[in-house]
Amino acid sequence: MANSQHQKKAIVFIAEGSEEMEAVITIDVLRRAGVQVVVLAVEHAAGPLTCSRGVKISPDAYLGDDVVKIASFDAVVVPGGAGGASIISQSSQVRSILSDFYAQHKIVAAICAGTLAIKAAGIQSKASQPLRVTSHPSVRDQLEHDFLYKEDRVVVDSNLVTSRGPGTSFEFALKLVSLLVGDEKAKEIAAPMVLNFSL
């Protein structure tokens, strides 16, 4: 995945109530690595979206906008935050995108309660064996019967990447950089952020 010459592109979904650290850290780290990130709001709003702790984020575009060619992206990311993850999971368009990306071996990533969107998209039914995932501990009971649940900080199962919560956001984002752009780029951007990054 990381060897292609074209600039990698990622969608980060966002909604009212999304967890701001998980969204912003992921967006920032991916952009530092040269990944073109589009922050895509699931629902139209008159102004910035209010995240779970009151931080406001202005999306780059809205789901359904003609300017966003979904098929041209290499990865899709779902942040957590109970309210935001619920809105994102309930979107039939999002569920379809997640399912399509997984089937096309593109990166599908979720953190915290965002992992519930993986379940809602029915991705497990496309796998030949139980998929390994993690999430915020508060939603574990909604996932462990459908998936092989792990408590690792970041879990990678083929092209599916999941993580636990705000405190694992940097590791999650750097893993996405490794998969999209390569390990060397992940190490390169970790150093000036004063992060201890080991593969």
DSSP class of 31? H
Q: Which token pair is 76?
A: 């899709």
Catalytic residue among 19, 20, 51, 112: 112
Catalytic residue among 136, 145, 184, 188: 136
Catalytic residue among 19, 20, 22, 171: 22
DSSP class of 189? H
Decide if 51 is catalytic.
no
Decide if 188 is catalytic.
no
CA 190/CA 175 separation, integer angstroms: 11
Buried b (16+ CB within 10 A) or exposed e, 7-45: ebbbbbbbbbbbbbbbbbbbbbbbebbebebbbbbbeee
Decide if 6 is catalytic.
no
Catalogue the active-site residues.
22, 112, 136
